[in-house]
């Protein structure tokens, strides 16, 4: 019997434990109010507190005005294997983003599954 060859240690571990999550990467534009009451770092921390979100970062700046900063952001999230990312986005992520003071969704997010070859 031949041993299976693995490309990397993550692939090996994933097979050993059985993947229980699917990973996704969402890209969209967020507008953040520029005022003394709103700190961009705090806004990013609030996004990271959303259940399922693992990573948030700004990909690029789209525009800046005295009142608003608009950037393209990447939000990575995990879901239990087989869960619907559209349902998560519409029921969980989008409403949670709308609750963050000083933050608005400027352009809806598109997402794709990541981590599989």
Q: Which residues lie closer than 8 Å to 60 by C-beta, 6 or more apart?
A: 71, 72
pTM of the model: 0.79
Residue 51 has pLDDT above 80, yes or no: yes
Q: What is the pLDDT of residue 68?
A: 94
| Of 70, 67, 68, 71, residue with least CA distance to 57 | 71
Instruction: Say how far apart CA 29 and CA 89 lie, in whole Å.
Output: 14
| Mean of per-residue pLDDT scores for the chain | 87
Q: What is the spatial distance between Cα 117 and Cα 114, in angstroms, rounded to a whole number? A: 9
Asked if 92 contacts 19 with a C-beta cutoff of 8 angstroms, the reply is no
CA distance 91 to 86: 8
pLDDT of residue 37: 85
- Identify the pLDDT of residue 3: 57
């Amino acid at each position: 019997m031949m041993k299976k060859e693995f490309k990397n240690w993550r692939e090996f571990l994933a097979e050993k434990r059985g993947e229980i999550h699917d990973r996704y990467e969402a890209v969209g534009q967020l507008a953040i109010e520029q005022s003394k009451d709103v700190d961009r770092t705090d806004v990013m921390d609030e996004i990271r507190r959303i259940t399922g979100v693992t990573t948030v970062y700004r990909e690029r700046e789209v525009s800046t005005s005295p009142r608003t900063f608009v950037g393209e952001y990447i939000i990575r999230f995990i879901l239990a294997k087989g869960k619907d990312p559209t349902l998560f986005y519409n029921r969980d992520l989008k409403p949670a983003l709308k609750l963050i003071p000083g933050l608005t969704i400027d352009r809806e997010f598109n997402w794709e599954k990541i981590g599989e070859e």
